[in-house]
């Protein structure tokens, strides 16, 4: 999704840029300047909703454990929390 929406957002942004005539064919490809504005807004909203949706999933499945996993690269379920230090020592040995 990000590999599609990111370049499309950039392409429609360049098509909206009025100071460079080299991108005018790109605006015509998307259906004119008014249509490019709608495409650009749609791609931006889709990226924002993608981000918000993923942040909601992180929060609803355990914010503290998910943030720790994102930062450290390790995931520890809540049931294994008391033995966390032993697990780290075993891996390091």
- pLDDT tier at 86 (50, 70, 90 boundaries)? low
pTM for the model stands at: 0.66
Kindly state the tokens that stand for 31.
């259906």
Query: pLDDT tens-digit profile of 12-22?
Result: 999 988 888 88
Residues 6+ positions from 2 with CB-CB distance below 8 Å? 47, 50
Span 43-57, average pLDDT: 92
pLDDT band at 78 (very low <50, low <70, confident <90, very high): low
Neighbours of 89 (CB within 10 A): 9
Domain residue ranges in the chain: 1-60, 63-93
- Structure confidence by residue, pLDDT tens digits, 55-76: 899 888 888 888 888 888 877 6
């Amino acid at each position: 999704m990000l590999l599609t929406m990111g370049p499309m957002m950039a392409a429609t942004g360049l098509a909206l840029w009025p100071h460079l005539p080299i991108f005018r064919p790109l605006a015509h490809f998307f259906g004119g300047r008014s249509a490019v504005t709608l495409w650009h807004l749609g791609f931006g909203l889709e990226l924002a909703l993608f981000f918000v949706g993923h942040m909601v999933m992180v929060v609803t499945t355990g914010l503290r454990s998910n943030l720790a996993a994102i930062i450290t690269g390790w995931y520890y379920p809540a049931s294994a929390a008391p033995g966390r230090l032993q697990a780290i020592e075993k891996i390091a040995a």
